Structure 1
Amino acid sequence: MISVLAEDRVFLDYGPIEMMLMATSPDKNMTVQMQEAAKEVMTWLSQLSKVLDQAKDVRTLNHPRLLELPLPLRWMVEAVLETGDKSLTPMAAVAGTFSDLVADRLVEDGAHKVIINNGGDIAIRLFGSERTKVGVTPSIGANRFTHVIELSSTSGVGGVATSGRGGRSFTKGIASSATVLAQTARVADSCATLIANHCFTPDPHILQLPAEELDPQTDIPGHCVTVKVGELSPEVKRKALGNALAKTNELVTKGIIQGAVVFLDEFVGMIPNDLCYPLNKKGGS
């Protein structure tokens, strides 16, 4: 359930959560603190399970007393509200929220560098001269990354999240992957979902079905989600990618996210243009 992999790494496998915790401090070994934070995840997950119906209900975004909600659900609601899109439910931010909860707990415990990877939704906390690199994959489930993002304590990035076809959740779009950088992992998570959803344009070769036909317990009944994508013309791909980048630009302009990179098969676009670099540049490896 909780495995110590090294003095700076702990792995948690509990229910729906598979989380890698990494934390370091110049003053102490953080292994015990990471184990305690992993145990706290179980408590937070229990809290959320008791209000799961609210977490899956879009009407919870209009809850009149957010402070009365359990902390995980409150952070999920606040993150989705920040996107400005009321079609998302709080579940759009669930993975990123748990990454943030753990990361902030470890910072409180004295960590100077924290990386929490919850199934690809990553919370990052860097202080002082700390730096890190994040690999970006061209598709969900890819076993390699093709681009790299460099981050420092001055980057203003506290979360990196990816959404798209083949992910753990449904998508309304056709993006191979949409990776978002934001101040928190929970906002990056919800915005990655939103941008991936916007990577779409109607085409006969795209099969979509109501989400409830695929999962009766879905949090987005009545929404059509992508089931299969056939052979698409370059024009269709460019239009879909353009729609995703338009939403990215809107979110960046509003200061909600720092940027995003979107892949659609052989096409890729990013805002800003220097968000990340291919492995064959800058000596990436």
Structure 2
Amino acid sequence: MPGPVAAYLDGHQNGRLHLQHGPIELLIGVDGAHSLELEAYQRALAFALAHRRFKTVLDELVAELPLLRSQARPDGVEPQGAVARRMWRAVLPFASEHFITPMAAVAGAVADEILTAMLLGFTAENRPNRIYVNNGGDIALHLEQNASFRVKIAREDGADLGDFTVTAEDRCRGVATSGRGGRSLSMGIADSVTTLSDSAASADAAATIIANAVDLPGHPAVCRAPADTVVDDSDLGARLVTTGVGALTDQDIAFALDKGEAMAKNLRLRTLIERSALFLGRHGRLVTPPHPSAPHIPIPEEKLYA
């Protein structure tokens, strides 16, 4: 396997940094300083720190892969590597009630680790105003002062499902999406579930759990197969994953989304997530903080309901 590769995605050093090693592909941005000179300095230092930390991430994960592909248990063995520990700790709140492996949080945990490595190179007074590390849609954020980050939600076919904005005042610092349209297998039928939490790893794990809950067990329109027949060496083993969804009635979709929404609300009450947007077909649900001043996801109603 080729080693880690780094490149400026926009063709110059003041653009975004692209890091890739095997299946891991990161897009990193640093901006928001009061002057171009300070921003260039912060960006160059942050990118160098990100690249240095990224070089060993994949090898560290591979070294503990059997453990990371095993079912997480509250009394289980904690991994040794920094990223692996982030993965394990992110899925642990779900381990007593659900089947989940640390791999459910791998993308978010890598993003969190690279963000942390960058921030360690700065004093609290000299940190960049905004840093984002996007690992295939699972995003770790650093936001200060009036910085914000806008996330656009789209279906797998490119249809626009709306957007939301995370501000420096929000407690959220992680965004993740799971579902049938993602890079990983899903035991549910959601097209996508986008979730916000205090870290990308936590959002990643929670999105997986919510997406699995959007389901119609035994429905004839839902095709399933053992995970290890779809993807070799899947961490899900012989558990059934969704391989296709045929025509569903509005009632079917509403029932499936009801289950996912109930799960999301439960996780929000447990403070495991802050917000979540669930989509199936042309229908969707939002789970947001209940108070009037809370940030919300401004998705047009016609995009949510058929």
Q: Are the aligned partners of 1:132 and 1:150 in contact in 2 as well (CA < 8 Å)? A: yes
Query: What is the RMSD of the two structures over their aligned residues, measured on CA atoms?
Result: 2.0
Check whether the contact 2:197–2:272 (CA below 8 A) recurs between aligned residues.
yes
AA partner of residue 37 (structure 1): A
Aligned to 1:264: 280
Which residue of 1 is the match for residue 130 of structure 2?
Answer: 113
Q: 2:179 aligns with which of 149, 164, 172?
A: 164
Q: CA deviation at 1:61?
A: 5.6
Residue in structure 1 matched with residue 296 of structure 2 by the alignment = 275
- The one of 16, 25, 37 equivalent to 2:50 is 37
Match of residue 240, structure 2, among 217, 220, 224: 224
Partner of 2:149: 132
Stretch deviating more after TM superposition (214-223 or 111-120): 214-223
Indicate the SS of the match to 2:247: coil
Return the alpha-carbon distance in structure 2 between the equivalents of residues 168 and 206 of structure 1.
Answer: 19
Q: TM-score, normalised by structure 1?
A: 0.91
2-structure distance, mates of 1:11, 1:192: 25
Question: Is 1:9–2:30 an aligned residue pair?
Answer: no
SS of 1:146's equivalent in the other structure is: strand
1:90-109 → structure 2 map (5 Å cutoff):
90-109=102-121
1:57 to 57, 70, 73: 70
Return the offset for 1:59.
4.8
Alignment-mate amino acid for residue 62 of structure 1: D
Runs of 4+ in 1 over 4 A off after TM superposition: none
Q: What one-letter code is carried by the residue in structure 1 that aligns with 2:142?
A: R
Q: Offset at 1:212? A: 1.7
Question: Structure 1: 5+ residue runs without aligned partners?
Answer: none
> What's the counterpart of residue 81 of structure 1?
92
1:27-73 per-residue CA deviation (whole Å, 9 max, x = no partner) reads 44213421431331221211111111111011566334x3x611111
Query: Which residues of structure 2 form unaligned runs of 5+?
Result: 122-126, 290-294
1:8/1:31 contact within 8 Å kept? no
**What is the Cα deviation at residue 174 of structure 1?**
0.8
2:27 aligned partner: 20
Counterpart-to-counterpart distance in 2, 1:142 and 1:250 = 30
Shift of 1:216: 3.5
Do 1:10 and 1:35's aligned partners in 2 also have CA atoms closer than 8 Å?
Answer: no
> Residue type matched to 2:299 in 1?
P
Counterpart amino acid of residue 78 in structure 1? R
Q: How far did 1:177 drift?
A: 0.6
Deviation at 1:280, TM superposition (A): 9.6
Q: Name the structure 2 match of 1:234.
A: 250
For 2:165, what is the secondary structure of its paired residue?
A: strand
CA shift, 1:279, in A, is 6.4
Question: CA 1:171–1:257 in 2, change beyond 3 Å: closer, same or farther?
Answer: same
3-state SS in 1 of match to 2:128:
coil
CA contact (8 A) 1:60 1:90 kept: no
Give the corresponding residue for 2:292. none
Rate the CA distance shift 1:280–1:241 in 2: closer, same or farther, 3 A: closer
TM-score, L = length of structure 2: 0.85
Deviation at 1:130, TM superposition (A): 1.1
Identify if the C-alpha distance between structure 1 residues 61 and 55 changes in structure 2 by more than 3 Å, giving closer, same or farther. farther
Partner residue, 2:83: 72
State the percentage of identical aligned residues: 27
Which region of structure 1 is more displaced relative to structure 2, 27-36 or 166-175?
A: 27-36
Provide, for residues 82-120 of structure 1, a one-character-per-residue CA deviation record: whole Å limited to 9, x for no partner. Answer: 335441000000000011111122222333211111001
Letter in 2 for 1:80: V
Q: Verify the 8 A CA contact 1:82 1:187 in the aligned structure 2.
A: no
> Aligned to 2:141, what secondary structure does the other structure show?
strand
Helix, strand or coil at the partner of 2:216: coil
3-state SS of the aligned residue for 2:111? helix
The one-letter amino acid of 1:251's match is L
Q: Distance in 2 between matches of 1:90 and 1:251?
A: 18
